[in-house]
Structure 1
Amino acid sequence: MTLSNTHYLDRLLKPETIALVGVSPREGTVGNDMLKVLLSGGYKGQVFLVNPRYDEIEGHKCFASLSDIPVAIDMAVLSVASHRMEPLFDEAISLNIGGVTIFDYCKLEEEASPTLLERLSYKAKQANMPICGGNCMGYYNFDNDAYISFQSPGERKAGHISLIAHSGSIFVLPTSNDRRFRFNLVVSAGQEIATSLDEYMDFALEQESTRVLAIFMEAIRNPENFVKVLEKAKRKGIPVVVTKVGRTEVSAQLAATHSGAIAGNNTAYEALFKKYGVIATDSLDDLMTCAQILSQGGDLGAGDLGYIGDSGGLRELFVDTAEEHDLTFANLTDDTMNKLKQRLPLGLEAVNPLDAAGPFTPDYAEVFRDSVRYIMEDPNVAVGVFEFEARDEFIYMPEFIEIAKEVKQYSNKPFIVLNTFSLALNAGIAEDLMDHDIPLVNGVENAVKAIANLFANRDQQADSHTPAENISNPARKEKWHARLATGLPMSETDSLNLLADYGIGIANPQEAHTQEDTLKAVETMTFPVVLKTAEPHIHHKSDVGGVKLNLNSSTEVSEAYDDLANRLGYRVTIEPMVGQGTELAFGMVNDPQFGPMVMVGSGGIYIEVLKDRVFSLAPFDEIEAMAMIDSLRTRPLLAGVRGAKAADLNQLAKQLANFSHLAADLGDDISEIDVNPIIVNDKGSIAVDALVIAKEVDAEQSAA
């Protein structure tokens, strides 16, 4: 009988008793391969084989069914075809088996409704039984040598990376190739019949051997729990590195607002990852390199990069690549600089990044040994890189390997050995260095991108603070909830009044439906004024010539009204021209998984062309709002150029934070918001135009 468990997935992922159903003596079959993979891994628990056609396989007794096994089973592999899956699954549930692994894709030629997958999912959830798969490659738990797959990871030392992947190919590629990547857990999630990515992540966070989570993700099926797991990882100080695929903007054409059009499919994940300090990578190489570096442990403190190399040309290449990825080198202290000047041979400059390759004297390696130590011990260095050419077949200075290994004796900072050539054949050296928690990275861009990601994550974590709570005004919220629930379109005036209620400066438009009313409204204003169409079906006024600027007399207003009324309709708004300034935009898009996301970006007519925007999940406070503003490419314009005064950024940040509270308050009622442009100058921020798209209200709700 197994011991009591501490996690829902313990019996599935670290079983003490395993049943292999569908095992076979035939070479080259999944049923035979899964037995060999498990036995070759040195699994120390009990293994039971199930196949009624055989008495024994590979010297192990075969049972006719799961029910014939005389002990309780923690995990069963159901390696059978789809048409045999359901009765076998029912038997596993009746025996209270702790979890099952399913390689098959569980589809029948003539599917009934509900489908086989749907039936299995329902039964598993009713029985509280976790499933790895279906259509998966299984899993490797290196902590207890449970290799549950039909493909072997080969001889590979255990490590500290927990890799969880939706793709079976990603399960195979890192574990079947270079052994410098060391794992404690690798899971192929497959179809997630009953167990989702977030649950595997939660399990990994509970394992003492986990130092980093590496996730290859297609989509999130349980967003609420996924967020809880990210919060847990952040509390425990375990970094999460993700490669999210499916990042293209195919949904942009369906958006009603500019905000929605420039958001794209991946924006919600960008905002979520930023909020919880997830390191987002672009490729499998980036994912694994970053995870490899993080798996060494060490303290990533304040400071920048320290570099020591043995080639002037490769140093130049590293510097160029570092600049492309905004990676900065540490300013070494005077003490470090003096030590380097005294130690370096004539002709070598004491500088970071350092080329320490002088004449081939008996002292050659010792110069590097001392230089590495001086730079790694400098308080302004947070991460060190030691670049030299090393192959398993040849290394011109073997002492470099020992120098690298010694670093961990005097420094707990992350330290990386780099071979600039990404195709270098040095897996043996890499394994040797990993025995001392020193990652050897091949490829200058691989290393630079990974280090840049580490620094960005560190800085984001340092800037993070307690997320803002939405301090709601119940009366204000109910007022606008009732208005939006009517199903009537929000006019520009309605939309701007909503913003004003939430503390956002507006241009105070007046709506008119006749030329006479328009001219009366002008009498209360100072010229110049702006006249715009207010027809509710026109979302983007400038696209149809629906905006008349700089009208300086009643005559010009009258002529402009006639033109708009004849072409677009009689409803208009009129408002005073706002002073000159930088044009920005606020926006909100309501993500179906993670809720309202707020945008700030470059505004005006080029909003979709420039795509200079930043999204964050609502709500947030003025500190985060200011960080969003600071990250815009437009930001230098707000500081004042060519004699213009600097913009009032404090008010802008306050209004952006207020806008995020509006989004959080009314996220159940609004699908999209576009506030464009917002004129920002030294006097403040004024919203000139706004479009609010309410969620569709069904007829019964509207009548009620």
Structure 2
Amino acid sequence: MPHPLDSFFAPASIALIGASRDHEKIPGRLLSMLRKNEYPGKIYPVNPNYADIDGLACYGSIGDIGAPIDLAVIIIPARAVLSALEQCAAAGVKNAVIISSGFAEEGGDSAAMQDAIAALARRTGMRISGPNAEGFFSQVQRVAATFSPAVDVKPGVVPLVATKKRIGIVAQSGGIGFAYYHRARALGIAVSYVVSAGNESDLGAGEFLDYMVQDSSTEVILLFIEGIRDVDKFLVAARRAAEMKKPVIVTKVGRSGAGQRAAASHTASMAGWSAAYDAVFAKYGFIVSNDLDEALTIAAVLASNPLPKGDRVAVVTVSGGAGIWGADTVALQGLQVPELSEKVQVGIKQLMPSYGTARNPIDVTAQGVTSGGLQKSVDVLAASDEVDAILVVLSLSSEVRRPFKEEKLTPVLSAQHKPVVFYSYTVPSDFARRELAKSGVVVLSGLTHVGVAMRRLVDFAKFSLPKPVDETRLPARDLSVHLKSAVLSEADSKSLLRTAGIALPDEVLVRDKSELDEAVARVGFPLAMKIQSPDIAHKSEVGGVRVNITTKGEVFLAFEALLDNARRHRPEATIQGVLVGPMAKRGVEIIVGTMLDETFGPMVMVGLGGITTELFRDVVYRPVPVDAEAAGAMLASLKAAPLLNAFRGAAKADVAALAQLIADISALAAREGKEIAEIELNPVLVHAEGQGVTIVDALVVGRK
């Protein structure tokens, strides 16, 4: 089925608006790159100052061409761009790439010009990439609609191609997008498309991602983003990629932020600038990498291997020390390096000298290269059900010696039984790269990145898209009566949650000393008392909490003390009274919360709770809603997860009840996103299995 951007990425005709004869300048390089890469379609230079350019007729305006144009590439001064686009629309041009800079990135009137471009795209239906874009490259269709030197063609140089699978590159930075391409080409990774999104007046990274996901020639996607503007299209593409099991490797920059979120709750203040992005990436199984070389290594391994069935790795080497280093590296990533069975060891020992070792790592020694032991060991391990992946560690610096024979290695790798990854601890020669490329091998030279790539391969193989969530579990209730102010006190927050269907302990808000006897009779001893004010978020910091009260005398003294402390520390605060409630049974302290992200909407968070929440920051976020199964997976990913699972002889905690609470809170946040900005339950005490959870404290923040 055709995609709306087919005519963008594979245009039958291109008009170059602002074309030049000067190949040293960007307009001239655009024409030069198209012709060097043997673009097969029609090229129409447009510039009123020339009659012809490089043997091509040159036109005074787009309207003078008089032929259908699929793509206009525009490189003229910013002030002239809008008029040129109007002429393109009038001439029926389907798509445009604006290379010109000087728009939203400058602010002021320049930003208004970009707004006008976006309005033109909406009005005419012409699809526009940029402005401030570096263009794109369609490798298969030979469309080099860019001035990037990365796509330059050097006479007599045969490109290195090791993979049959191709990677597609979408970048919001043209320089980084074509840097990915440049490095991929050096490794021998085949590429389908590279596109730089520029300022995204119309076409954004989400829509380009969607194209790569549906494109049959693209098997792995590299994504470099600063922020997503076309959120809905991005999320549709992300879901489609997950459903198709097409890997997306993403680098998100702008993580350091120039400040913290202004937030009332720990949930939001700890989120940082990229928590919601990471939550979305995790939901859809994106592979996150914050390093350019690491991202390319992951792409190389994915493009040249099948997915593994498990996490057991065999390390085969010609150097004992390098083999141990390789084994350490994958083990540090949490992968297993199991000792091989006696039967397999006996078979491998026959292929190496007596001073080699077959246990794993397998050291066939330098002699194993010439004797064929290296190849035969890979053969044995590829057929063995004792390991799921093979890491070959060797020296590939020679300009003349082949460590493998193509006719023997190719059938083993082509069978695609399991991943076989090749790492050279010396700088690999061009000869070695090209010889191994004939068998489909990408030679890698960063061991840490190799370890990460093998870990990510295992994780991606296990990933499955969360099931759709039943949002009807909680009854639909009108909560507006509870949202009288932006920040609610604990008592008001708990009233809202009870109305919404969340189970909480029975507590009494006491406004006057005369109400204490009735409150005690209802709650019973032992009990806790807490000052209540929408202006005091952290009650313990003002001496606003008393616990383990066991007599009526203590109750009356505590009531007076709590009011006095609040008035002394926060004289301006509105005091509602004192909340009297039962002391909860012991349990593991967990924080459960939601926050509103301005890009992706409500997020649910869970982490290690109590007063150390911000100290350890052991938290995980996901887009809402999540079901109990997905909530359980969130809990399992915490560093503190062992605390819930019978840690050091403690009773196993009621993880099922906690997971259901997380799911319910997430459903509430999903439904009430227009009204509620943040919810925080901290701590939630998780009791022994079968005994449920207790929400000790709660905070709800309404939308401002």
If the length of structure 2 is used for normalisation, what is the TM-score?
Answer: 0.91
User: What CA distance in whole angstroms lies between the structure 1 residues aligned with 2:356 and 2:410?
Assistant: 25
Alpha-carbon shift at residue 399 of structure 1 (Å): 3.2
Distance 1:331 1:454 in 2: 22
- Rounded Cα–Cα distance in structure 2 between residues aligned with 1:210 and 1:28: 33
CA RMSD of superposed structures (Å): 2.5
> Cα offset for 1:281?
1.1
Residue 603 (str. 1) matches residue 601 (str. 2): no
Give, in whole Å, the separation in 2 of the partners of 1:99 and 1:141.
15
Q: Is the 8 A contact 1:640 1:647 kept in 2?
A: yes
Report matched runs for 1:512-551 at 5 Å: 512-551=510-549
Q: CA deviation at 1:87?
A: 1.5
Counterpart in the other structure of 1:442: 445
SS of the residue corresponding to residue 599 of structure 1 reads strand
SS of alignment partner, residue 8 of structure 1 = coil
CA contact (8 A) 1:160 1:183 kept: yes
1:28 aligns with one of 14, 24, 31: 24
Using the TM superposition, give the Cα deviation of residue 691 of structure 1 relative to its aligned residue in structure 2, in angstroms.
0.5
Q: In the TM superposition, what are the counterparts of 1:85-234 in structure 2 within 5 Å?
A: 85-107=81-103, 112=109, 115-152=112-149, 153-155=151-153, 156=159, 160-177=166-183, 178-180=185-187, 181-234=189-242
Shift of 1:600: 1.3
1:252 to 232, 251, 260: 260
User: What secondary structure, in the 3-state scheme, does the structure 2 residue paired with 1:691 have?
Assistant: strand
**Counterparts of 1:507 and 1:75, CA distance in 2:** 65
Corresponding position: 1:580 with 2:586: yes
| 2:419 alignment partner in structure 1 | 414
Contact 2:326 2:393 in 1 (8 A): no
The whole-number CA distance in structure 2 between the counterparts of 1:438 and 1:484 is 63
Query: Residues 434 and 199 of structure 1: is their aligned pair in 2 closer, same or farther, counting only changes over 3 Å?
Result: farther
> Match for 1:97: what amino acid?
V
How far apart, CA to CA, are the structure 2 residues paired with 1:352 and 1:498? Answer: 59
Q: Tell me the residue number matched to 1:699.
A: none
Percent sequence identity over aligned pairs: 29
Give the superposition deviation at 1:514: 2.0
Q: Flag the 1:269–1:365 CA change in 2: closer, same or farther, 3 A.
A: farther
Aligned position for 1:264: 272
Answer yes or no: is the 8 Å Cα contact 1:241–1:280 preserved in 2.
yes
The 2-side partners of 1:493 and 1:16 are apart by: 67
CA 1:204–1:492 in structure 2 vs 1: closer, same or farther (change >3 Å)? same
**By how many angstroms is 1:110 displaced?**
10
Aligned residue identity for 1:467: P
2:632–2:659 Cα contact (<8 Å) kept: yes
Q: Note the alpha carbon deviations across 1:114-157, whole angstroms, 9 max, x for none.
A: 71111111101211111222111111100110101112413446
Residues in 1 aligned to 2:425 and 2:469: alpha-carbon distance in whole angstroms: 44
What is residue 466 of structure 1 aligned with on the other side? 467
SS state at 1:163 partner: strand
Contact map agreement 2:683 2:695 (CA 8 A) in 1: yes
SS in 2 for 1:692: strand
Counterpart of 1:7?
Answer: 3
Report the 3-state secondary structure (helix = DSSP H, G, I; strand = E; otherwise coil) of the residue aligned with 2:354.
Answer: coil
3-state secondary structure, aligned to 2:476: helix
Greater shift, 167-176 or 259-268, is seen at 167-176
Structure 2, unpaired ranges of 5+: 154-158, 568-574
| CA distances 1:653-702 after superposition (whole Å, capped 9, x unpaired) | 22222222222222221101110011112122111000011112xxxxxx
What CA distance in whole angstroms lies between the structure 1 residues aligned with 2:654 and 2:302?
A: 40
Deviation at 1:347, TM superposition (A): 3.4
The residue type paired with residue 663 of structure 1 is A
Which whole-Å deviations, capped at 9, do the CAs of 1:345-377 have from their partners, x for residues lacking one?
32333223322216x37x744111111111122
> 1:318-358, CA deviations, whole angstroms, 9 ceiling, x for partnerless residues?
23332332233356466534422444432333223322216
Structure 1 residues 236 and 331, CA, compared in 2 at 3 Å: closer, same or farther?
Answer: farther
Q: CA deviation at 1:470?
A: 1.1
The alignment's TM-score, normalised by the length of structure 1, stands at: 0.91
CA distance in 2, matches of 1:114, 1:586: 41
State whether structure 2 residue 476 is matched by structure 1 residue 477.
Answer: yes
* Partner residue, 2:639: 633
Distance 1:251 1:672 in 2: 19
Give, in angstroms, the shift of residue 405 of structure 1: 3.9
Gap change, CA 1:310 and 1:499, over 3 Å in 2: farther
Contact between 1:678 and 1:688, CA under 8 Å: does it hold in 2? yes
Written as runs of structure 1 = structure 2, the 5 A alignment for 1:487-526 is 487=485, 489-500=487-498, 504-526=502-524
**How many residues matched?**
682
2:287 and 2:543 map into 1 onto residues whose CA distance is 44
Q: Name the SS for the 1:295 alignment partner.
A: helix
CA pair 585-299 structure 1, distance change in 2 beyond 3 A: closer
* Residue 410 to residue 428, structure 1, CA distance change in 2 (3 Å): same
Shift of 1:536: 1.4
Instruction: State the secondary structure of the residue aligned to 2:58.
Output: strand
Matched to 2:443, the amino acid is L
2:357 to 332, 349, 359: 349
Partner of 2:13: 17
Q: CA offsets, 1:290-327, max 9 Å, x none?
A: 11221225243344323212222222222333233223
Alignment pair present for 1:366 and 2:383: no
